[in-house]
Chains A and B, each alone.
Chain A
């Protein structure tokens, strides 16, 4: 799968995207966020409070319980501020 990060999430993590194998036991976006938060203190800092983040699967806004599969494009980002 492809995982993308935007705005302050990208900036704090120091990466705009990566390719990942679907981790064992990960079924929803929430599971993936929890998996990523275990990487180190920086990742834990970004993913510990999901209320400050939003997520999309295959370029559509979804809730944290949305299912994910090995070929999906997942994105994590703060609430949008365009216009």
Chain B
């Protein structure tokens, strides 16, 4: 498994290729890429995180995903610093012998990255800045995995 927090962009093709080459048992790759969207005149986003805890928290959820589904590989890369509209924010890539496990695990991991990994977004619109509030919708998306 690969977990990285970095300022620079990631190369999606290279990450998928590395996952494919890591295991002959892989029959499918599911990727989710989060992107900065133009939300109400947004000019940029700045992301900060809690070094150490971020990697631990994502690592714990990757371990849980591996115990719940038969995965052959997982890559999670999250960017920090200032990002512009259209920039990549996060990559979750999951491989498995069959698609169902990979789709489910990718969704599970994204729901937990959004609600448990210690990242915070600040939005810039012109000269004004605002910290983004967490949403009820994201909390509910993560909670549903507890009901299984």
Interface residues of A (CB under 8 A from B): 4, 6-8, 56, 59-61, 75, 77-83
Q: Is the CB of B50 within 8 A of A56?
A: yes
Q: Which residues of A contact B119 (CB under 8 A)?
A: 80-83
B52, B56, B121, B133: the one contacting A82 at CB < 8 Å is: B121
Query: In whole angstroms, what is the CA distance A80 to B48 when docked?
Result: 10
Interface core residue of B53, B56, B78, B113 (most chain A CB under 10 Å): B53
- The digit string for B36-67, where 1 denotes a CB below 8 A from any CB of A, is 00000000000111101100110000000000
| CB neighbours of A77 from chain B (8 A) | 50, 118, 120
- Residues in A with CB closer than 8 Å to B117 are 80, 82-83
Q: Which of A56, A78, A81, A83 contacts B53 (CB 8 A)?
A: A56
CB neighbours (8 Å) of B89 from chain A are: 83
Which of A6, A77, A79, A83 counts the most chain B CB atoms within 10 A? A83
10 of the cross-chain contacts (CB-CB < 8 Å) are A6-B120, A56-B53, A77-B50, A77-B120, A79-B133, A79-B134, A80-B120, A81-B120, A83-B34, A83-B117
Q: Are A7 and B131 touching (Cβ within 8 A)?
A: yes
Are A83 and B50 closer than 8 Å at their CB atoms?
Answer: no
B117 CB to nearest chain A CB (Å) = 5
